[in-house]
Amino acid sequence: MNIGFYGHSVCSSISHPQSWVNTLTKKLKANIVNKGTLQGSVERILFELKKTKKLDLAIIFYGGPRYTFLPDLERDFEFEAQKRADYLWDSPYHKDYIKEWENNSDIINKHFKKFTEKFKTVDNFKYIMNTYKQYFYEPDLALNRFYGSIIQIDQYLINKKLPCIHIIYKNNIPPFYEIKSGEVYDDIIQSTTTYFQGMGAPNGLSIEGNLYFESYFENKIKHLLNINGASGILDITSDCLSEEGGSIPPAPPKIL
């Protein structure tokens, strides 16, 4: 079975052996064909979902409309988080995180180096973001794009007959629309706060939190596949991962 994880940082870690994304897929003998992104936007979810090949099941974490899709980068960004930009460049805050993550090349190379190389300086990045916000951003327009992406995600999954677990606050769903491509939950969202441990931890969660997420989604996946009459898919293994699926570069076919 090929599982795609989409959304923000709570499903973004595949380099840490205790990440729930890894332990869950190992337990289910499944392949990972996409992973989440720091501050992942709903437009990125749609973008990566449509690129993923050989997908059997999607697990989607939705943030809010405030996150902006940054193409060609390994993270998205929130307009109002000006201070958050500082740690991506040379500042005491940045250096503290570099020291904490000095053995994590994935963090250094993808979430710092690639980002800073593209925008050059923190002042340049803030200028670009503020200019975009001043001339091209309007909250109601952002909300329309957010709603539109949710609807397109749902319609795409329905069209492709792909089962999905949607993790989204009910009040973030368009009030005039009902998601029908899978099961919708919001109870697990509070657990991201309960088990929060910071950006140095796998998926920003404590080890206990990662174990809780693994158990939670194992149960939800089995329930979803049973009600869809597709429980046999748990025994399926694919010959290869997606060649162009989302944020993941080419990798061995199975994560064991």
Whole-structure pTM value: 0.81
Residue 245: per-residue pLDDT: 39
What per-residue confidence (pLDDT) applies to 198? 74
Provide the pLDDT for residue 93.
43
Q: Please report the pLDDT score of residue 234 as a whole number.
A: 57
The pLDDT of residue 57: 96
214-218 long-range contacts (CB < 8 A, ≥24 apart) are 214/20, 214/23, 214/24, 214/27, 216/188, 216/191, 217/20, 217/24, 217/59, 217/165, 218/24, 218/27, 218/28
Per-residue model confidence (pLDDT) at position 45: 97
Q: Which of 94, 116, 136 is the endpoint of a domain?
A: 136
pLDDT value at residue 239:
35
Task: Quote the pLDDT of residue 107.
Answer: 54
24 & 128 share domain: no
Last residue of a domain, one of 115, 136, 157: 136
- Per-residue pLDDT of 153-209, as tens digits, reads 999 999 999 999 999 999 999 999 999 999 999 999 999 889 998 767 889 899 999
| Domain annotation covers residue 253 | no
User: Do residues 125 and 227 both lie within one domain?
Assistant: no
Residue 256 lies in a domain: no
Four-CA torsion 76, 81, 87, 90, nearest 10 degrees: 100
**Does any domain span residue 240?**
no
What pLDDT does residue 38 have?
Answer: 84
Task: Determine which helix (DSSP H) or strand (DSSP E) holds 246, and give its type and residue range.
Answer: none
Does any domain span residue 152?
Answer: yes
Q: Which of 189, 169, 187 is nearest to 179 (CA)?
A: 169
Give pLDDT, residue 9: 87
Give residue 224's domain range.
2-68+139-235
Q: What is the pLDDT of residue 248?
A: 40
What does each of the 256 residues of the chain score in pLDDT, given as a tens digit?
999 999 998 998 887 889 999 999 999 999 999 999 888 999 999 999 999 999 999 999 999 898 888 888 888 888 665 666 766 665 444 455 555 444 555 555 556 677 777 888 878 888 888 888 889 888 899 999 999 999 999 999 999 999 999 999 999 999 999 999 999 999 999 998 899 987 678 898 999 999 999 999 999 999 988 866 665 555 544 333 333 334 443 333 333 3
Asked if residue 75 is part of any domain, the answer here is no
Residues sharing a CB contact under 8 Å with residue 18, sequence separation 6 or more, in sequence order: 202, 207, 210
Instruction: Please give the tally of structural domains in the chain.
Output: 2
